[in-house]
Structure 1
Amino acid sequence: MTLSPLADAGLVVQAHVVAALSALVLGAMQLALPKGTTRHRLLGWV
């Protein structure tokens, strides 16, 4: 698997992939980290 199809895709598609991967990482962090902390609330806001 290579990243060439993503590199050849339009800017909108690339931005969508970055946003989706960011949401996936932030969601996993929200589930794994302690609840109710300032970091938890900040990540939820983001």
Structure 2
Amino acid sequence: MITNETKENYNQCQNVNCSTTFVSHETVARYIIKPQLINVLIPNG
């Protein structure tokens, strides 16, 4: 991870005649629904 919103990916072409290897970045553009605080459930037992 580069930041909480951006991660670095290592990629390689699957074509044996190509085999290009490169780095890409995946970034969050916007949130549709942001996670809320979840209450922890304690199992009965």
Q: Larger relative contact order (C-alpha < 8 A, sep ≥ 6)?
A: 2
- TM-score, structure 1 normalization: 0.23
Tell me which structure has the larger Cα radius of gyration.
2
As a proportion of its length, which structure holds more helix?
Answer: 1
As a proportion of its length, which structure holds more strand?
Answer: 2
- TM-score, structure 2 normalization: 0.23
